[in-house]
Amino acid sequence: MLGYAPFPMNLSPIKLGLVFTGWGALVAIFAVFGAPRLQARFGIARTMYANLFLFAVVILVIAAWTTDRAVLIPAVIVSGIFIGVNNTITTQAVMTISPVERPVASAAYSFVRFIGGGLAPYAAGQLVIALNIHVPFFIAAGAVAAGIVILTTVHRMLAEAERVQAEQVAPIVPAERIVPVLSGACGRHRSASHEPGSVILAAVDDAPTASGVIEAAARLAAQDGLTVHVVHATEAAVAGDVAVDGEGLAAAEALVRRHLDQLAGHHIAAEGQILLHAADHGAAGRMVAEYANTVQAGTIVIGAPSHGGLSAILDESMSHELLRAAQSNVLIVNPDAPPAFAALPPAT
């Protein structure tokens, strides 16, 4: 019953639709935006324990006031918060500790989840007929509370999931999550491997601003004979009860190589790096900043933020987290601003 709201009795179709619209909106918002932030802040285990406890409290309220619309309707809508968080956090935990590939683990998890969801309405109806309308919800609250107890028996596995999550969120990029992309640029500029400030880091994605980022980085590198590191962070895709691998490695390599070729056209020495498995936009920003700190980059060049609206409010900003964690100068290239860097002429 974790994926479904109780049915408010004796409501018109329009009012019933509004109730479930509110409930569904909260499920979606907290599954996509709220859960990742809670998980990053509190960890998997604490978030799951607290979320299930609060969900059990809401179900108890529904159980006690099932026939009182003034209590039932707000409780049904609010339950969407806990259902959305539960869907994403539980999926994230399963995907993290599963010994099989993410699509397989996600399919198995969904199978178990929806088998329970399919049987619950029938069982609840039979309980109402045999006893009364309150009993199914008291049982549901007890089941959720029992779930907390069961979770404590696998706390070690949840701790392992938290450890992996901490690696994704903390500003440390393990070597095994950095994929080098060989450069085809010429080597007339000096190597910047161990010289502080002699690297220009260009953080790129598939946004239209990426080409401008590369041009600005090339201009800075050409002035002092520096090397450009083209860095791209890939993000995992986990939301709700669906978990899939995010951007493929081949696509990420193609993106980085395209920008390396752009730099090679200006005779700028460059190398590419792919940072794997950022949990979200904020984690990607922290990973890029840590990479820049590791190579002691003098300047990081990034594009202006391209997303706004609700996602900008609820999702961590890549640029904000990068600015917070970076020890380098940061140049933000805004495509709507007057050009500050003229494009370098192609090499002949």
pLDDT in tens, 265-274: 899 999 998 8
Task: Select from 277, 327, 273 the least CA-distant residue to 167.
Answer: 277
Highest mean pLDDT among 49-63, 82-96, 328-342: 49-63
Arithmetic mean of pLDDT, 16-28: 90
Q: Give me the pLDDT at residue 191, please.
A: 43
DSSP one-letter code for 30: I
* Sign, Cα dihedral of 236, 237, 242, 244: negative
Give me the half-sphere count of Cα atoms (radius 13 Å) on the Cβ side of residue 138: 9
Per-residue pLDDT at 139 exceeds 90:
yes
Lowest mean pLDDT among 68-77, 128-137, 247-256: 247-256
pLDDT value for 340: 58
Supply the mean pLDDT for the chain. 79
| CA dihedral for 291, 296, 302, 308, sign (positive or negative) | positive
Q: Cα(233)–Cα(173) distance, rounded to whole angstroms?
A: 11
Query: Where do the domains of the chain lie, and which CATH numbers do they carry?
Result: 13-167 (1.20.1250.20), 173-333 (3.40.50.620)
Strands 242-244 and 178-181: unpaired
Q: Is 82:54 a contact under the CB 8 Å cutoff?
A: yes
Q: Residue 286: which pLDDT band, with cuts at 50, 70 and 90?
A: confident
Is 132's pLDDT higher than 80? yes
CA distance 217 to 329: 12
Confirm if 247 and 149 have CB atoms less than 8 A apart.
Answer: no
Mean pLDDT of 275-292: 82
Q: Is residue 306 scored above 50 in pLDDT? A: yes
Specify the pTM.
0.55
Percentage of residues in the chain having pLDDT higher than 70:
76
Direct distance between the N- and C-terminal alpha carbons of the chain, in angstroms, rounded to an integer = 67
Spatial distance between the Cα atoms of 156 and 9, rounded to a whole number of angstroms: 43
| Amino acid type, 184 | G
| DSSP of 20-40 | HHHHHHHHHHIIIIIHHHHHH
* Residue 122, token pair as written in the block: 């029938």
What is the helix (H) or strand (E) element at residue 179, kind and residue range? strand 178-181
The pLDDT score that the predictor gives to residue 8 is: 52
In this prediction, residues 214-230 reach a mean pLDDT of 92
Which single residue is written with the structure tokens 């041009």?
215
Model confidence at 34, pLDDT cuts 50, 70, 90, reads confident
In whole angstroms, give the CA distance from residue 319 to residue 37. Answer: 16
Other residues' Cβ atoms within 10 Å of the Cβ of residue 65: 15
- Kindly report the length of the chain: 348
Tell me the pLDDT tens digit for each residue of 172-197: 344 544 656 654 444 333 444 557 88
Closest residue by Cα to residue 270 from 317, 218, 315: 218
CA distance 26 to 308: 19
Q: Give the pLDDT band of residue 100 (cuts 50, 70, 90).
A: confident
CA distance 174 to 171: 10
Provide the 8-state DSSP code for 99: S
Residues linked to residue 8 through DSSP beta bridges, in sequence order: none
Q: How far apart are CA 43 and CA 158, in angstroms?
A: 9
CA distances from 255 to 163, 213, 241, 258 (A): 30, 13, 29, 5
